[in-house]
Structure 1
């Protein structure tokens, strides 16, 4: 043989080959000089214990998931569907110390770990996620350095008197960090999977793992870079004679594949940064990410196939994720076709178009489809085959699922700004223009659009909600789709008399209320006997007439019988503006005397709104459900964190426990 992965061994004098899992075979007995043989002992020992350490790393991950799953089972709160006596008696029974302990611990944890971490470095993520990343990095660092012989050996070069190699612990260490990088590859893929086993075990939605997936990729890149730098120092400087050793080393096939893997990994890291995503566009980034990731794994296999034990499971997880997605879509759409035969077909959805050239048109989709009910809080990925079959987008239905029904009603609203949603808006607008009897702003029409569904995905927001928990929902713009089903579900069940429920919805213009007018009307009817309030803030009311004077502020037809609502309007303080507001309110059955109309061009004071809500509760903890822009979510995290009082919870006052559940995928 010419050169090999362990080229300091003399294969011509081998009497026995000693296999080592995940590494090149060793020739025994060692016939090199004593220093080289001692160095090989250190190298193979460091690798062998390193493989054990990767097993410990995965055993630790598995143990954490097992404990998490067991804890979820035994620490479940009251199911949302529990039947309560109409007077609500008996639900505020005093909790034991064993029951109060996890609640108080959770409250303390939210107070310090819920706010955003360093936004400049990590973006809008909580301290909990960053702490998890730091613990993981610290744990990996320990296994990177332990079990390695840190020593220096100066050994002679054969047939070259006076020339010496310098061998150090850098070689075993570089191998170790490379092995751990390989071992983390399946975990990185698991963290990116939509059909996530991690979600099944932990109950966390798959998107909550995106942060760890991205930063674990950065960790793998750093590990691979250090592995490469280590061997460059060894082969280009410490081994002699130069440049002969370096040229022979770099021309080996496994080294060429290693260089290819590093180039691809660098491209993956650069394209996954916010700058890279903006440069390529999200959809292009996503497709490139898939392709480059698969090529990277192939290059890693070419570089060191002995570690395929980590690469093949990663590929299996990836392909299973894609296969399950296709299977779920097929099952959702295999149904009776209009011809009466069974087959696969897209669902025709009624399209309602809300024109807004400045901020982006809003589209509402309504359709019925035969399948089982999803859980409140979950979302579907929707593909529009009339535009393209290669893209899908996550949308949360704001309609309420009906358990046991043969057919489910789907209703979605989304703002079309750019990309695929912009194409859908343009397609819908063209169809409406071709039918002059249809209104372009908010009226239903014969305009239909075929859709394909995949899902449902995400968390069950109300499945573990205790019946005495007070609920505050906060939404910005189309974020109403996330919180509205929560309120509809709660309002459809018997409620304790002390429970407090409220909705705060911020929209730009008064006519935006038409997006979900039927659902608001339903909510109002269901909330008549509850301690519930609905507050809608209109932040740009003064712009309505100036930008589009021909379009009525609120369509009376679309909002007939809608719920009585408090509308706080941002605009000028002119009398004409007040008259316009009063006219809009009368459509919703709200007299001007029933509310205070504040003409302040600002968003609602969320700190005061959330604080007043919690202070106004009689008993029980508070759950805040929110969906909107990143700034709103970050602000709410800080507000909710400050309202948590673990000491009060431990003493039996559940009002010191305030939880935040948010969906920050939508923009205000």
Structure 2
């Protein structure tokens, strides 16, 4: 009786999803087209400013995008407790998207199903809601499985990488759990009122499979909270994949044949993802297109692992025969450390083209030691300064970052091992292929010795920036509480807490700069240096004040300013809220002539 109307609701759901994905895909095409046009114009007009609106149509489009960005950036609050941190709400943009999704679900769930006593079908007042909730529930299943895949249709069309969709996968799953409660509770209420529960279970075995499906969904939702994922990651992955397969079988057994297409669509998404990933892993580790033998030591890659400290590990994967982009990550498996374990790590170096004579390059990973896989690999290379070699297998590269061609100025910030994401982006920004005029690079570390890992690269890239005529400022902030001495050029200078030096909202004058130079480590002040200068950065003790870092770059920008940040949740929240306030203050692209702010953040996990 209710099937035609409910199927129409299910189709509308997917029309809306397709419209949203299509809009994001169209925006991606527009941005790529503008980048292509900007590059052509740059070849003819060297002084042109990238992504600065040239007419009223483009300005209106950019103004609309700027308004959406400004609304999406803020982070309401961040919880930092051992347990409470897992209950930190999403950013405002994600909350607004969820609000829109829940509004759509509520409208579909309750429209035209609340019957009045005078209705000719009032006797079906419980069933009409139960059937509608069933369709609203089952039609969400393909989206949930699509969002769980690394290679999925949404990412392919929109360019949004799978890990940035993972939060939506979890929230849609939680929404499904609630709509299923509406589904079974209305039917169960009717059975209870008619004293029909026992007979219903005997006559309709599919009901048992329905309750089992709801139980599996509840179990998956509960175990998918961040606490369980972080504490027992390997076990969680195994059971999550197993229960996801079990859920599809239970749902297929429970739903009528005319609704089973939802299950088969979900299976199609998963099959496409798994087959594509298997082929990708085979290509990467069997070296199919490189003419290498697929036997013995040539299978996979040689990975050298060495300790950097009691908390960090450095991994170098040799003779890599594929390319990658800055900001991407790989999954790595080392059978001697964990046979079935596959863990993601950000690639901390850039792909160089042209490569060496044989076309092979190395991938570097800087890994924070936690528990499980990273703790075991740390112990296995203990006491071996040159490091130990292991056979490793790679999946990837994965992920995507915005093109740097659109920016006039850039701010790159990282805390701790977030440098693995930040420094490849930094090195890409000062390449000859971009038109970036100004770059500010900020790294916040707990211990000064971490600076030694990237000191040479920072100096080398400072020299490249000078050649490219890029105004570069590099600041390193050391937050170690008991820091008293920092070696520099074979000597040690006292370093006091420099927090008061960076709290001012205005730029320091010449005398203040000289005072900071004298009280900091013996590196030159972060500004354009003379040709005789060899060191490119300043080290300060304390935490950075965002206004002194971001405002000079933003106010000096001729075009769009990109802000890239990678770090812990608290730092990301500060960056998000500051960018939102600054965007509102400047009224970007709203008639003042001030240019847009683009924020892109990465956290330590997803």
Contact 1:542–1:570 (8 Å) recurs in 2: no
- Matched residue, 2:224: 272
RMSD, aligned CA: 3.7
- Matched residue, 1:612: 552
2:215 is aligned with 1:263: yes
Contact 1:510–1:584 (8 Å) recurs in 2: no
Change (3 A) 1:448 1:554: farther
The offset of 1:85, in angstroms, is 6.3
2:170 is aligned with 1:222: no
- Matched residue, 1:11: none
State the TM-score, normalizing by the size of structure 2: 0.84
- Distance between the aligned counterparts of 2:278 and 2:431, measured in 1? 34
- Distance between the aligned counterparts of 2:488 and 2:44, measured in 1? 37
Contact 2:210–2:250 (8 Å) recurs in 1: yes
Contact 1:185–1:310 (8 Å) recurs in 2: yes
- Matched residue, 1:660: 599
Contact 1:119–1:125 (8 Å) recurs in 2: no
The offset of 1:339, in angstroms, is 12
- Distance between the aligned counterparts of 1:422 and 1:81, measured in 2? 46
- Distance between the aligned counterparts of 2:308 and 2:489, measured in 1? 11
2:381 is aligned with 1:428: yes
1:472 to 375, 388, 411: 411
- Matched residue, 1:170: 126
2:441 to 503, 508, 513: 503
- Distance between the aligned counterparts of 2:366 and 2:301, measured in 1? 17
2:35 is paired with a residue whose SS is coil
- Matched residue, 2:26: 70
Unaligned runs of at least 5 residues, structure 2: 80-85, 501-516, 526-530
| Alignment size in residue pairs | 565
- Matched residue, 2:565: 626
Contact 1:537–1:568 (8 Å) recurs in 2: no
2:149 is aligned with 1:193: yes
1:212 is paired with a residue whose SS is helix
The offset of 1:224, in angstroms, is 0.7
The offset of 1:297, in angstroms, is 1.8
Contact 2:329–2:344 (8 Å) recurs in 1: yes
The offset of 1:518, in angstroms, is 3.7
2:548 is paired with a residue whose SS is helix
Match runs of 1:128-167 below 5 Å: 128-148=93-113, 150-152=115-117, 167=123
The offset of 1:494, in angstroms, is 5.8
Change (3 A) 1:398 1:249: same
The offset of 1:612, in angstroms, is 3.0
Unaligned runs of at least 5 residues, structure 1: 1-43, 156-164, 433-437, 439-444, 546-551, 557-566
2:393 is paired with a residue whose SS is strand
Contact 1:116–1:126 (8 Å) recurs in 2: yes
- Matched residue, 1:13: none
2:474 is aligned with 1:534: yes
- Matched residue, 2:503: none
- Matched residue, 2:83: none
The offset of 1:50, in angstroms, is 0.5
2:337 to 370, 387, 391: 387
2:72 to 100, 104, 113: 113
- Distance between the aligned counterparts of 1:393 and 1:594, measured in 2? 34
- Matched residue, 1:254: 206
The offset of 1:335, in angstroms, is 2.5
Partner deviation per Cα, 1:367-412 (whole Å, 9 max, x = no partner): 3334332222221111222211322222121211134643233111
- Matched residue, 1:486: 425
Contact 1:261–1:296 (8 Å) recurs in 2: yes
2:362 is paired with a residue whose SS is strand
Match runs of 1:446-595 below 5 Å: 447-462=388-403, 465-466=405-406, 468-493=407-432, 499-528=437-466, 529-540=469-480, 542-543=482-483, 553=487, 570=497, 582=521
Of 264-273 and 212-221, deviating more is: 264-273
- Distance between the aligned counterparts of 1:339 and 1:256, measured in 2? 55
Contact 2:78–2:569 (8 Å) recurs in 1: no
State the TM-score, normalizing by the size of structure 1: 0.76
- Distance between the aligned counterparts of 2:276 and 2:288, measured in 1? 22
- Distance between the aligned counterparts of 1:593 and 1:408, measured in 2? 28
Q: Which runs of 4+ in 1 moved over 6 A?
A: 80-83, 336-340, 578-581, 583-586, 589-597
- Matched residue, 1:126: 91
- Distance between the aligned counterparts of 1:321 and 1:229, measured in 2? 35
- Matched residue, 1:323: 275
The offset of 1:119, in angstroms, is 5.1
- Matched residue, 1:641: 580
- Distance between the aligned counterparts of 2:600 and 2:238, measured in 1? 30
The offset of 1:425, in angstroms, is 0.8
- Distance between the aligned counterparts of 1:338 and 1:275, measured in 2? 42
- Distance between the aligned counterparts of 2:205 and 2:455, measured in 1? 65
Partner deviation per Cα, 1:573-614 (whole Å, 9 max, x = no partner): 9xxxx999747999xx99999998765xx3111233222332
2:59 to 76, 96, 100: 100
- Distance between the aligned counterparts of 2:48 and 2:498, measured in 1? 47
The offset of 1:168, in angstroms, is 3.4
2:59 is aligned with 1:90: no
